[in-house]
């Protein structure tokens, strides 16, 4: 099954950074989102995550193949997306086709994209654009503490790894950078700037007149405010992360394309914390990987059933029905056993 051609908007950013809100806004604008039957349904703070069950499962499987997980991301050696372990992963095309049955433009959101951009840039057809959402590291860490019970120091480490990977992986992709705190402070202004920038890209220019700008702005609701907007003065934030905050802030707005960002070394604290998390989470990853593989298999089966149902409903299938029946009957005659010695079938 062929994957949708897009054009695609990838919504990238660390967990708890407003990626769901921006994806919902782009869906209200007029971009295609994941079909309802394949969406995450988590009964927690976000009313809608706009994430595909099957594609998130694939992303979890990719991280597990690299001995990592969303909350214990691995180190990514150069060329990891071409490694044998990744090459042996499930085919993404049927999953994309099942998640996005309607034509583009389409918006694909998953915080794991921040880590896996080299893989998805090689998979997705058509022109790509991206929105990079980022948020104060302490605000993200405290939000992860409330949602998942992660210690703040571990949340800070995840914030650094995700945002560094996103900055590296987006090089050369048309990208709009937006801070969560800016979006919460005045939704109408940032959403208008984002829509204007998308409209300036060639792949969306012919569609922009039909976009629902008021609906896009209205989709950013006051519900975001309860998450808080903590600053960056927490003494737990190391100097490397403070520098990363400054770098992200300097990149606000649209880039055609996103430039190469020279980053210093990851903080030693982040490297040590995530290496330990990676080692301790190995047994859980094996169980999660098995569950995700089962989910992927079920989604592939559903996609195949849907394809067969469409085929059987087609005109050509109905027209050739009598021929198939005749072929089946002739085949049955050819394979009948010869009569027994007494003239009866044994």
* 11 CB-near residues (< 8 Å, 6+ apart): 19, 22, 23, 26, 107, 108, 109, 113, 130, 131, 133
- Domain layout of the chain by residue ranges: 8-296
Tell me the CA distances in angstroms from 171 to 77, 124, 224, one per residue in order.
17, 16, 29
Q: What is the pLDDT of residue 287?
A: 64
Under 8 Å between Cβ of 245 and 149 = no
Residue 186's φ and ψ, nearest 5 degrees, are: -155, 80
pTM: 0.80
Q: Tens digits of per-residue pLDDT, 177-231?
A: 999 999 988 899 999 999 999 999 999 999 999 999 999 999 987 556 544 445 5
The Cα 72–Cα 66 span in angstroms is 11
Q: What is the pLDDT of residue 150?
A: 94
Q: Tens digits of per-residue pLDDT, 4-36?
A: 989 999 999 999 999 999 999 999 999 999 999
Q: At the topology level of CATH, where does 8-296 sit?
A: Rossmann fold (3.40.50)
Q: What is the pLDDT of residue 315?
A: 66
Query: Which regions in the chain score pLDDT beneath 50?
Result: 45, 226-229, 342-346
């Amino acid at each position: 099954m062929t994957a949708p051609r897009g054009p695609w908007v990838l919504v990238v950013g660390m967990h708890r950074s407003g990626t769901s809100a921006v994806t919902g806004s782009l869906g209200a604008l007029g971009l295609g989102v994941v079909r309802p039957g394949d969406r995450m349904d988590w009964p927690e703070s976000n009313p809608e995550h706009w994430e595909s069950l099957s594609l998130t499962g694939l992303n979890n499987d990719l991280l597990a193949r690299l001995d990592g997980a969303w909350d214990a991301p691995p180190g990514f050696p150069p060329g990891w997306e071409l490694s044998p372990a990744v090459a042996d992963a499930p085919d993404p095309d049927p999953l994309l086709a099942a998640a996005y049955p309607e034509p583009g433009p389409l918006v694909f959101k998953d915080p794991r994209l921040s880590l896996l951009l080299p893989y998805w840039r090689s998979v997705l057809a058509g022109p790509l654009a991206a929105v990079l959402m980022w948020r104060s590291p302490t605000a993200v860490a405290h939000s992860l503490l409330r949602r998942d019970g992660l210690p703040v120091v571990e949340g800070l480490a995840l914030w650094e790894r995700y945002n560094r990977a996103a900055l590296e992986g987006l090089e050369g992709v048309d990208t709009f950078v937006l801070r969560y705190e800016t979006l919460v402070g005045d939704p109408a202004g940032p959403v208008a700037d984002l829509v204007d920038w998308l409209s300036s890209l060639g792949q969306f220019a012919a569609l922009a007149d039909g976009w629902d700008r008021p609906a896009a702005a209205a989709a950013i609701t006051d519900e975001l405010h309860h998450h808080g907007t903590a600053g960056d003065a927490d003494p737990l934030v190391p100097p490397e992360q403070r520098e990363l905050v400054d770098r992200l802030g300097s990149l606000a707005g649209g880039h055609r394309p996103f430039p190469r960002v020279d980053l210093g070394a990851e903080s030693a604290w982040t490297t040590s914390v995530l290496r330990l998390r990676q080692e301790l989470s190995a047994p859980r990853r094996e169980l999660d990987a098995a569950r995700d593989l089962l989910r992927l298999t079920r989604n592939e089966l559903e996609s195949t059933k849907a394809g067969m149902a469409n085929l059987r409903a087609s005109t050509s299938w109905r027209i050739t029905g009598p021929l198939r029946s005749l072929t089946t009957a002739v085949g049955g005659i050819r394979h009948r056993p010869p009569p027994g010695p007494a003239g009866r079938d044994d």
